[in-house]
Amino acid sequence: MRKGNGRMIDGQTRTCGVIGNPIKHTISPLIHNTLAGRFGHNLVYVPFAVEDGGLEAAIKGAYALDILGMNVTVPYKGEVIKYLTDADPLAARIGAVNTLVRAGGGYKGFNTDMSGLKRAMSSEGISMEGEEIILLGAGGAARAVAYLCAEQKARKVYILNRTIEKAQAVSAEINEAFGREVSLPLLLSDHAKLPDRRYLAIQATSVGLEPHDEEVVIEDEAFYKKVHTGYDLIYKPFNTRFMKLVRQAGGRAYNGLKMLIYQGIDAYELWNDVKISTDDADYVFDVVKREMGL
């Protein structure tokens, strides 16, 4: 099988890539080269492993080499901000950037993890506006999701975590940033204290990730009766235990693969003058699913 985007590289080929460490398991090249192939764009997307201490040189070098756009992944999403000329307001607020767009004199940072989550949810008819949301986890991923929930005008965000101090810290930060008491911290084991109503629940811990497919942060069926929609940021396995428990209790459940696809699509749109339709997104989704054996 031919790898890459399927066309010849020539003198006009544009380059994009992803910076991280480690980077060998990234699926971003698959997403972007699939899009370039579909649109017939003369663009290649490659992984760049950047060693500890090499980020500033990498960003400057990328600019000097006329790299069109970059993604940034673990562990550089926070650190990269100080090497940018500008940042989108939500990305700046979160303090995490995963997409760099070439602008005059340097790169502008965006957070398409969050715009991608919003778009993935909206493609399933899910909106955060006016919702009471349960957020499971208070780590890096959950913190970014908490910002998105508040920015999207959620009515309440209950942050449930094993370590209460982290949930308290994220809650306080969100309430301060948005100037309203939108978020409340709770211990995971205190989930029964959640007011008796139905929620959108977002699973943002690392629990249940392959190969620990049968693990989940809350087992109690009573909890799942309160969930009308469950959204797991994990996509490996394709059906997590969290999703199964949501469905068993009568709710709808989704995994994080569409979020992953849409963070790529949003970045691709920022770099190229193109609007990607739902059909194009579904095409990429199928390619990625097949290549990943999901």
**Where on the chain is the footprint of ligand ATR (CB under 6 A)?**
137-142, 161-163, 166, 205-207, 217
Chain position whose Cβ is nearest to ligand ATR: 139
| Distance of closest approach, residue 163 Cβ to ligand ATR, in angstroms | 3
d(CA 263, CA 271): 13
| Distance of closest approach, residue 104 Cβ to ligand ATR, in angstroms | 32
Write b or e for each residue in 234-267: b if 16 or more Cβ atoms lie within 10 A of its Cβ, otherwise e: bbbbeebbbbbbbeebebbbbbbbbbbbbbbbbb
Task: Give me the sheet containing 106-110, strands edge to edge.
Answer: 43-49, 14-20, 69-72, 99-103, 106-110, 86-87
Nearer to ligand ATR, 7 or 162 (CB): 162
Cis peptide before 22 (omega within 30 of 0): yes
| Distance of closest approach, residue 146 Cβ to ligand ATR, in angstroms | 11
d(CA 193, CA 18): 43
| Distance of closest approach, residue 159 Cβ to ligand ATR, in angstroms | 9
Nearer to ligand ATR, 34 or 161 (CB): 161
Nearer to ligand ATR, 141 or 267 (CB): 141
Active site residues: 77
Contact 159, 171 (CB under 8 A): yes
> Looking at the chain, how many residues does it have?
294
d(CA 35, CA 16): 12
Contact 254, 226 (CB under 8 A): no
Parallel, antiparallel, or unpaired: how do β-strands 86-87 and 156-161 relate? unpaired
d(CA 38, CA 201): 35
Nearer to ligand ATR, 260 or 287 (CB): 260
How far apart, in Å, are the Cα atoms of 15 and each of 2, 107, 144?
Answer: 18, 14, 28
| Distance of closest approach, residue 128 Cβ to ligand ATR, in angstroms | 19
Nearer to ligand ATR, 67 or 243 (CB): 243
Of 202, 233, 219, residue with least CA distance to 133? 202
Nearer to ligand ATR, 102 or 118 (CB): 118
| Distance of closest approach, residue 10 Cβ to ligand ATR, in angstroms | 39
